[in-house]
Structure 1
């Protein structure tokens, strides 16, 4: 079967960059939405070597008479835009993604300082869901990019603006590697953190990158004018991360190493499963024993609450032996007792 002239011309004119494509039938109805890191190669593959296609793809190709393309600057944006288009257009050849409840979602809680995480559980209260996404691996890659830009929290701490404990709380590793703005402390206000979450929601919409960048530029200028230079620097870093999508926007660029575990919530769930616990551990304490050639034995205690270091509970000990009459020697088990 020969391709309609208009469709063939559009395929030939496609770029080699990333974006989303929309197939339409003879009535002009959108019947399928897809994304690609190389639009020309991906779209052309549907209409070449048709004998190797499954039956569903053959039906799609036979019914497609027109094509619409939306180019993006990166694969990350294409992934987010594809999700939005499927929700808006409800194309019938994307029916599995629309109906299957096992696909992963991006979740944002409605707390004073919202958490952002990936999940397959749609039944959680007070949570806004974005998705579903066809690939968990691709979603997590996009999630790691979003974490770098918008620096949202992933911990389970109950945070409030008026909590006096925020003045002395120590931020976790995510803050130090610029994955979180540390709302557990007073480094970021509820208003500024809320601005970051609103920008995140807009960016997830797939079409609002320009609006998000403009808003960040305004926030940066306002913060600098008010001499809030740390806030201005954070906005600057966010703008630069979004701008770098043009050069570093492949999804695989945002693979994260297996350790350290940046997603604290997921790490607690894995620890719960590994230890066979009824619920994720709330408090974890670790001891380290040290000595000088078997004498002058000391110990240190570190504590984590919901996966976050609680440095107020850190302790140092001098080990005096079971009877209190001297060092226990080079015996860590005796020192622990």
Structure 2
């Protein structure tokens, strides 16, 4: 194993975790999603018909969530997912993972119940029963079913089609020959042919069991033709009620889909590995199957160092993953043959249930490859809109990094400003910045703009960060000139293109050019610039409102010498308003903040009343 790590970047091994902001990378596919905290502990497993929509609902509709779910969302630092073939398979996989990992926020499944099965028992004149317990020695199992209703519908169908006994009698040859049993009501109403009295041969009975087995296996064509022909015959005779009954049976049969890739009693304990690779990277999905059920699913990325083959990478990954997850399964199924320990059986299935399992594993590996490739393209390749913007604004470089400034004040009070950042034409909210105006007094937008642009790029230069490809100033020639002066003071004027956008006519101004540039109202370039301007304005206004709201309380209480924010909060929580605090008796104030602080507050308001 050590020799392998010399050629493969083993640091890249590990299940990928999307952070919360990257949740839009999830696919619109059925599957399960897993929430993790900062310590990489699984908090919750959920199923979804559409992974992206379901996960997004936790973060976009938080006001509709209960307290427990809001706490889960607050603790979540990373998300991973596993795709399934259907919503039902997602339900089964969720069930398996909850039982295996017992996440903190899931309902714990502590009993031995699982989804219902249909079983053909190993006995003479076999019965067909429903059960939730899976014991392979008892008989041949089919399922699991998504619901008890679906399972009972199938059982009812079989009993209407075939004369299968429901009694629990021991129908041995000896007991039947001794005449121990008598036919029951089921025989008299035609649901059973009386094997208990020897009225039905074992061979004939087993023929009916074999036909029922075909239905349970999914071989429905013969039965479907039978129902369809009877429905048509009844309709031709104008027996519409009888035709409707056959139609309902036909509909039930067509909806009957038993095969599940996630839980399949025909599969034993095995490991599943699927790989898809590029010149530089390999994507591997690993699944662990125990007692026919997937209990673990991971997708990982391995960066190549040399020109390793898929077989070499799989061999290394298999050893690593099996050791990490303590797998003793001796059978491995995969899409690419590779060599491992001699006692391991490595199979590349061509058909059947094992092939379907490998296909599901490959589907998850391909999804990771698609997402990684898409992210890389979005990061490196300029979009058509940005290329159009480069042309419209006559820029020397594609503006894949744009920063836009706006300021906000109310008659000069609580002056603030904002800077928003767009990467590849989309908001990069983690790079947004707020500014409190420090050096300007009164409503002076020009001086405020000069201050914030200077402070922003002074810090960028100090941190040796990348300068943007375009600077946008919300305002006309005055604000633009102020911003240009800030760049001149930093000696970077001319290194970064800068423009101003006027609100009224959507005019664009360039430095030292008195005539504005007009871009078509339908141009995508103008739409991005408008989006930038609107975001900067929204961000500044929100900050300004929050500051005004905070200062409204601070003026009355926190400006009292000796009274801090925590004390002010206690008083407001208890009395609800400054007016009620002013009118409160001394005894009430003492109960909330103590004698010393109560006296300070009371004296402050008495002094104000005297003035």
**TM above 0.5, one fold?**
no
Higher relative contact order (CA 8 A, sep 6+): 1
Which protein shows a greater Rg?
Answer: 2
TM-score w.r.t. the length of structure 2 is: 0.24
